[in-house]
Structure 1
Amino acid sequence: MSTADYSPLDPSDLKELRANFSGELISPRDAEFDESRRIWNGMIDRRPALIARCRSTSDVSAAVRFTHRTGLPISVRCGGHNVAGTSVVDGGVVIDLSLMREVRIDVENRIGEADGGCLLRDVDIATTAHGLACPAGVFSYTGLSGLALGGGYGWRARKWGLTCDHIIGAEVVLADGSVVEASEEQHQDLLWALRGGGGNFGIVTRFRLRLRPADRVLVRTGLYAGDNAATALRIYRKFTATLSDDFHLLGGLRHARPTDSLPEDLRSRPVLDFLSVCSADDEASRAESEALFAAMPEGATTETVMTYLELQAMCDESAPDGRRYYTKSGYVSELDDEAIDRLVAAAAANPSSTGSIDIEFLLGEISRGSADDSAFPQRQAPFMVSAYGSWDDAELDGPGIAWARQTVVALREWEHPGGYVNYISLEDNPGDSVETYGKEIYARLARVKQHYDPQNFFRGTRAVAPAANGNAT
């Protein structure tokens, strides 16, 4: 590959980058360019000027310095699973960490170190081999970095907390290309911001994570159709008032599928896919699960005991790579009868046969985190409702996006303030993130941003402006 292949980039800049770069540089003229720029969401079709696939922290530093010299915009790619496609930038430089996926485990102290390009499956495989786990996500092919920096909901979040709550240290490449270690002993303000503040402050090339003993889980599912879908949601709502932290509950409203065992007259109506996760070896949890499903209306149910590693890959096939996706999400304070009826009606109006409206109960250990410990906001939100648009035909882009937005707008009466940074589309919410984080957390984030990135070099994700340039007060 010659530097001429990177036109219109300056050959002298590229020559300097190559001299300090051990990874792969991929331009639009390279045969692998189209495959390299492709990400999970097939709706995203962006053409960067250069993809810098890094092998080391020094490669990341060299790529950051290169973008300073060229003045090009930057994006950072780890797993490429963010639905808004923030990991790929048009006409700029993609700093790709996908080759940096080593995981190291300190079994005695229950600590894991994971490179910034790790997928969740990399961490899960390495930790569960020692009977340990770090709570994270629901798809094994999600990138650790994006998930953890934005918060990190997952199947065991109510029991263990968020992924960001388990970050105890990080190696970070800053906007000037320098490298710092953020920990409880040094750069504590940066560590605080990395716990939920998004990718606004630097590129994390290594995470240091607190681990938990991995437990076997009992997964129960129920499929409820027709009027039973709304009835099941009302029972779900009732049980959340007394639910133990060990339980995670998720309800998904969707169209019936050909594989669903349903009477013919119910196949045209919305169905509720209900899923619960709890400890398999705890008698109290098993009894609680049995009581919940015994109270449900008639439906098709399953019961499976699985390992944590199996749990983490359980949903992978439901969201295949390359399909077109759009997500609109919001926190909800309560699910009264009217809200439930609107959700069921919205599910019926979904223009696609795939996708769903997910209703997730939060709180538990999530709610016990403090703003003194992390930048993650809105820990007291009881529910999150997410309209997951999913389709294969590009002609459904307009109707599908409109449906997802309208679904969340219909719940405005029960809206809880704030938003989850990992589910927010930049197109829907341009500008700063005061509403997302709340004034106090945002003001503190803006001060950290001013200290570590005063020129707002990292601005491709949900934006936090430097205090001197923003409205942090």
Structure 2
Amino acid sequence: MIRRGDADYEQARLDAVWNARKPDRYPDAIVLAENGQQVAAAVRQARAEGQRVSVRSGGHSWVGNGVRDGGLLIDLSRLQEITVDPGARTVAVGPSAKGPALQQALAGHGLFFPTGHAPTVGIGGFILGGGYGWNSRHLGPACLSIRAIDVVLADGTLVHATDATHPDLLWAARGAGPGFFGIVTRFHLTAHPRPEAIVRTVHSYPVDLRDEVLAWSYDTLPALPTNVEFSAKVGFTPGLDTHTVSLTATAFCTPEHGAEALAVLEQAPFRDRAVRAVVGQQTTMDELYDVADRLNPAGLRWAVDGVWVEGPAEEILTAAAPVLDTIPDGNSFVLWMLWGHYPTRDDACWSTQAAAYLSPNAGWRDPDQDLARENWAHGLLAAVQHLSKGLQFSDNNLADRYDLGLSAENAERLEAVRAAYDPDGLFRSYMAPAESTTAYAAARR
């Protein structure tokens, strides 16, 4: 237990957020838990002292959702245990375990999991928010692979929850994001067969081809099998000194669909204008993580947002022009993730998706640029709002830009389930506008 005013408090507060841009929020105390029993004890103590509770697992939340003013922050960063049961094809994972460690533990058993795209992302926040990870277009969002959870409830009890024993709790854990009303100390997950190979094609084009490339990729998606992860990116590209529009297709090969599915990219009408191309290159998860790490490196100040969109490509791109036309210099880009649709399930509150995901990412160093970068990442999405199908919790927070993270029906049910499990509101939920990083940037100006 580290209390505000202790010598090591400020370092513990700063360490709880991966983003170099730390929020101006100060918990009364921080607990660095070693196991589930310590988490339960901390929750009971907070309840006895009338303190509200927030949680940090991997600390990769762009807005630092776990670091709130007042109350108790329970830091789970030491809960990184991974235990594989290859016979049952399951894996038990601590909330702060990272994707590379989980992939390495599974690889020797011929297994795989749709971990987060960045190597620094912890399982906890990622999977509770839905979990759009590697090969999720084929395997589904990671939350749908939750079999059970070990979770500390608002009364301070630690329970092993399954669909049979706590169906509403498992339903909420599959997609509620920062609105989940408990502290998961271990996830019990279904593991999946490892791809036979991973093959990647990347084309980078002059940025003046932007709309043509984005529209072509959007219209091409239905022709690709689901084991091909398909995206485009406009703006910063590691290794190039100018903004580009880049297409990336990664085939997680199965007996039914292999690298031949990538051939469609070579038929693009603008193919001869690529300034750089990697075609059908076999790769590894370590290499994919290295690429992602260079795109979102540590040590920068970050503002990220995103909106699910659907409709004619021309209509979407016209609406998104204010965002796409004003990408800042430096490590900034707009991700155009071609997702399609994955079937929703009655046992999961996860419910927000669309054909494409438009996500502004701003990375910078100078604190004087905070407000301008925040306004670009969040504010300009107002031009796309009429096409929005909702937001993704991993890249957004209702404090910065209000949108639906769940279907209206599931959001209503979530609040009813929360009232049953946490009637006194012990656990912090979604952040309010006054807590937004944009508001802090504006106040400092």
Same fold at TM > 0.5: yes
State how 1:136-285 maps to structure 2 within 5 Å: 136-199=115-178, 200-215=180-195, 216-255=197-236, 259-260=239-240, 267=242, 270-280=243-253, 284-285=257-258
Equivalent AA in structure 1 for residue 167 of structure 2: Q
Paired residues of 1:424 and 1:462 also in contact (CA < 8 A): no
CA shift in 2, pair 1:131/1:212, >3 Å: same
C-alpha distance after superposition, 1:376-412 (max 9, x if no partner)? 0124x11111111221111111111111224422223
Contact 1:169–1:181 (8 Å) recurs in 2: yes
Query: Does the 8 A contact of 2:237 with 2:295 survive in 1?
Result: no
2:376 to 403, 406, 420: 403
**Counterpart of 2:54?**
75
Other-structure match for 1:320: 297
Q: Given the superposition, is the C-alpha separation of residues 194 and 98 from structure 1 closer, same or farther in structure 2, using an over 3 Å criterion? A: same
What percentage of aligned pairs have identical amino acids? Answer: 28
Deviations 1:306-325 (A, max 9, x none): 23354345302322223111
Shift of 1:159: 0.8
Counterpart position of 1:452: 421
Task: Name the stretch that deviates more: 39-48 or 239-248.
Answer: 39-48
- Distance (Å, rounded) in 2 between the aligned partners of 1:143 and 1:335: 35
Q: Counterpart of 1:43?
A: 21
1:341 Cα shift? 5.0
Which amino acid is 2:351 matched to? P
TM, length-normalised to structure 1: 0.83
Unaligned residue ranges in structure 1 (runs of 5+): 1-24, 262-266, 464-473
Residues 241-298 of structure 1 deviation map (CA, whole Å, 9 limit, x = unaligned): 32211111111111467x327xxxxx4xx42122111134658442221222331522
How many Å apart are 1:92 and its aligned residue?
A: 2.8
Residues 125 and 309 in structure 1, CA contact (< 8 A), matched pair in contact too: no
1:302: which partner in 2? 278
Question: Could you tell me which amino acid in structure 2 is paired with residue 209 of structure 1?
Answer: L
CA 1:226–1:103: 2 relative to 1, 3 Å = closer
Counterpart secondary structure, 1:35? helix
For the Cα contact (< 8 Å) 2:309–2:316, is it kept in 1?
no
Match of residue 332 from structure 1:
309
Structure 1 contact 351–399 (Cα < 8 Å) conserved: no
User: Do the aligned partners of residues 302 and 345 (structure 1) sit closer, same or farther apart at CA in structure 2, a change above 3 Å counting?
Assistant: farther
* Preserved CA contact (<8 Å) 1:237 1:335: no
Give the equivalent residue in structure 2 for 1:358. Answer: 335
Query: Do the aligned partners of 1:324 and 1:390 also contact (CA within 8 Å) in 2?
Result: yes
- Whole-angstrom distance in 2 between the partners of 1:192 and 1:137: 21
Deviations 1:186-211 (A, max 9, x none): 11111111111224220001110000
Change (3 A) 1:454 1:296: farther
Highest CA radius of gyration, 1 or 2? 1
- Tell me the residue number matched to 1:17: none
One-letter amino acid of the structure 2 residue matched with residue 242 of structure 1: A
What are the ranges of 5 or more consecutive residues in structure 2 without an aligned counterpart?
Answer: 433-445
Residue 125 to residue 167, structure 1, CA distance change in 2 (3 Å): same
CA spacing shift, 1:342–1:75, aligned 2, 3 Å: same
Q: Point out the more displaced range, 111-120 or 54-63.
A: 111-120
**Which of 185-194 and 311-320 deviates more?**
311-320
Structure 1 residues 184 and 415: alpha-carbon distance in aligned structure 2, compared to 1, 3 A threshold: closer
Q: Is the 8 A contact 1:27 1:50 kept in 2?
A: yes
Query: Which of 82, 87, 93 is the equivalent residue of 1:114?
Result: 93
Q: Secondary structure at the match of 1:374?
A: coil
Partner Cα distance (1:169, 1:307) in 2: 29
CA distance in 2, matches of 1:374, 1:150: 11
Measure, in 1, the Cα distance between the counterparts of 2:380 and 2:401: 17
CA contact (8 A) 2:51 2:426 kept: no
One-letter code aligned to 1:397: D
Distance in 1 of aligned mates of 2:371 and 2:268: 40
Paired positions, count:
423
CA distance in 1, matches of 2:237, 2:34: 45
Q: 1:342, CA displacement in angstroms?
A: 5.4
- Which aligned pairs between 1:121-136 and structure 2 lie closer than 5 A? 121-136=100-115
SS of the residue corresponding to residue 277 of structure 2 reads strand
- Residues 397 and 430 in structure 2, CA contact (< 8 A), matched pair in contact too: no
Of 303-312 and 293-302, more deviation after overlay is shown by 303-312
Q: Residue in 1 aligned with 2:34?
A: 55
Question: SS in structure 2 opposite 1:314?
Answer: helix
CA RMSD of aligned residues (A): 2.3
Task: Answer yes or no: is the 8 Å Cα contact 2:58–2:95 preserved in 1.
Answer: no
Change (3 A) 1:185 1:167: same
Supply the AA of the counterpart residue of 2:13: R
The answer to whether residue 343 in structure 2 is matched with residue 368 in structure 1 is: yes
Q: Give the letter for the 1:220 counterpart.
A: T
